[in-house]
Structure 1
Amino acid sequence: MIIYRCIISNDEMFSDIYKIKVSDNGIFFEVEGRTTTRTEDFDERLIGANASAEEVAEGTESSSVSGIDIVLNHNLHETGFDKKGFTSYIKDYMKAIKARLEETDPDRVKPFMAGAQEEVKKVLANFKNYQFFTGESMNPDGMVGLLDYREDGITPFMLFFKDGLVEEKC
């Protein structure tokens, strides 16, 4: 399995268990997820509890959590942006990625900057469609994944900057 981590925060963003496509200009990983509901039952036996034969036991609590599998599996946290705040964040984030690329892959800087600007314009044009998610550490400088839904209104997908990730084989 391959885990994709943010190069700034080292947070786990997603893994290769999902359907992953690279955008036409090579800027984004588009990761398709699905909406899921998980039930988490509390098992009293795990804490050594033993129901008494004399008392009527109260029912144990169970809870269910609904959400997008990518978000739930990788402990992503929703964050809020207005257009101005997102624009400010993305400028700083692109500068950080550009600086990393200048050190590690200088030939990639120009295509990244041109392609990223093109993709950011598309995001800003459809800004109200997106939800934003940070990694587990909620590092404000780290990557923010963008969640949207396909035309069917049911199938969720997330966008992650390809150049802002490192692959880790498990």
Structure 2
Amino acid sequence: TGDEMFADTYKMKLVDEVIYEVYGKLVTRSHGDINIEGFNPSAEEADEGTDSAVESGVDVVLSHRLQECFAFGDKKSFTLYLKDYMKKVLAKLEENAPDQVDVFKTNMNKVMKEILGRFKDLQFYTGESMDC
């Protein structure tokens, strides 16, 4: 989709060479705040006492304007989506990185089994364009 889902300013781990785990933090931000990863406002700054709108959520979600995707009501619908998505990824790999096709096929199935095992505990997000 071209949407930026996360940046390298967040802690992340490449799982089995096929999927990234990105670690976010629960934050509360005032609108108008400038949020720079690793920046800590001075404790000496006085509160101006003005009310401003605040938002709370996971920093990765807020910073990249991710949208929660409710398209997967159950494991079956998620599995159908994954099959279609994996076909698209395989086509891109065959075109651009044929040496990675076997790694993707083997490892993605393993990773997806783990994700399906935790399905009820997960939330899904899509980029700003809402292209699930």
Q: Give the TM interval when normalised to the shorter protein.
A: 0.7 to 0.9
Where has structure 1 moved over 2 Å in runs of 4 or more? none
From 110, 129, 135, the equivalent of 2:121 is: 129
> What is the rounded CA distance, in whole Å, between the counterparts of 1:61 and 1:138 in structure 2?
31
Aligned counterpart for 1:68 among listed residues 58, 61, 64? 58
Long gaps (5+) in structure 1: 1-8, 42-59, 141-170
Higher strand share: 1
**How many pairs are equivalent?**
113
Q: Which of residues 10, 13, 16 in structure 2 aligns to 1:21?
A: 13
CA displacement at 1:61 relative to structure 2:
5.9
Q: Give how far 1:62 is off.
A: 2.3
Distance 1:113 1:19 in 2: 26
Task: Report the TM-score, using the length of structure 1 for normalisation.
Answer: 0.63
Larger radius of gyration: 1
Higher share of residues assigned helix: 2
Post-superposition offset of 1:107: 1.1
* Alpha-carbon separation, structure 2, partners of 1:86 and 1:138: 16
Find the partner of 1:39 among 17, 30, 38: 30
| Structure 2: segments with no counterpart, 5+ residues | 33-49
Question: How far 1:109 moved relative to its partner?
Answer: 0.6
Percent identity between matched residues is: 48
Q: 2:83 aligns with which of 84, 91, 110?
A: 91
Whole-angstrom distance in 1 between the partners of 2:117 and 2:13: 22
* Counterpart secondary structure, 1:137: coil
Q: Which residue of structure 2 lines up, in the alignment, with residue 119 of structure 1?
A: 111
- One-letter amino acid matched to 1:78: E
- Provide Cα deviations, 1:9-57, integer angstroms capped at 9, x if missing partner: 011100011112212x21121111100001126xxxxxxxxxxxxxxxx
Are residues 1:103 and 2:95 paired? Answer: yes
TM-score by length of 2: 0.81
| Cα RMSD (Å) | 1.3
